[in-house]
Amino acid sequence: MDFFTPEFWTALLAIVIIDLVLAGDNAIVIGLSARNLPRDLQKKVVFWGTFGAIAIRSLLTLIAVWLLKIPGLLLIGGVLLIWIAYKLLVEEKKHDVKSAGNLLSAIKTIVIADTVMGMDNVLAVAGAAHGNFILVVAGLLISVPIIVWGSTLIIKWVERFPIIIYIGSGVLAWTASKMIVDEPIIKEFFAVNPWMQWGLSFVIVIGVLLLGRIKLKNKKMQSEKV
């Protein structure tokens, strides 16, 4: 993938948006796990916890990029990503991480929690990278500092402007459609029928956003009745 092509920059933008939307509140784990430690230890926890979480996530993402090259897995990953895009709209994330009692315990809590919470992020970024390891690294370098130092601001933006979640979900759904049409098993079909590719992308993106919107309305109506 050429660095100066629209495809490269579109994929990079998609990765950054995915990172911010899916992992923006994962950084809150850092604050929750370190909140009862002395102030002089909290900075160390933030640094080493973030370092460990980034290292694990980077490794898992690179492994996922490699695995998605296996025939059939790109299609499966695309279908899973459609579900992740839908869940992003309708599920409320909970941050019930307990505060750790010491430095090593806090770092371990951050790394484990971030790894578990970030598996959807790993799959999404791997799919958006289209097999390009440079895109994965570049996306992390851009988004991780924003996530670590701006997580609270990101959450406030999301609460104030819900459309951000819809944009993120749409990007995820679009990435899922790209993964599906790039699956080697069916890629030739879409190559000779390009209109089917755009049609599938349109159906997936609109379908996810519409179903998510309906689900949210139903949940709101049920809560008002209670």
Q: What average pLDDT does this structure show over 146-169?
A: 72
The answer to the question of residue 108 being in a domain is yes
pLDDT score, position 153: 64
Q: How confident is the model at residue 207 (pLDDT cuts 50, 70, 90)?
A: very high
Tell whether the model's pLDDT for residue 95 goes beyond 90.
no
Write the burial class of residue 14 (CB in 10 Å: 0-12 exposed, 13-18 middle, 19+ buried). Answer: buried
Residue 1 lies in a domain: no
Which helix (H) or strand (E) segment holds residue 102: the answer is none
Question: Does 12 fall in a domain?
Answer: yes
- Of 67-76, 90-99, 127-136, which has the strongest mean pLDDT? 67-76
pTM for this model (two decimals): 0.73
- Identify whether the C-beta of residue 82 lies closer than 8 Å to the C-beta of residue 176: yes
What is the band of 114 on the pLDDT scale with cuts at 50, 70, 90? low
Integer Cα distance of 93 and 22 in angstroms: 10
Domain count, the chain: 1
In a domain, 37, yes or no: yes
Domain of 219, in residue numbers = 6-225
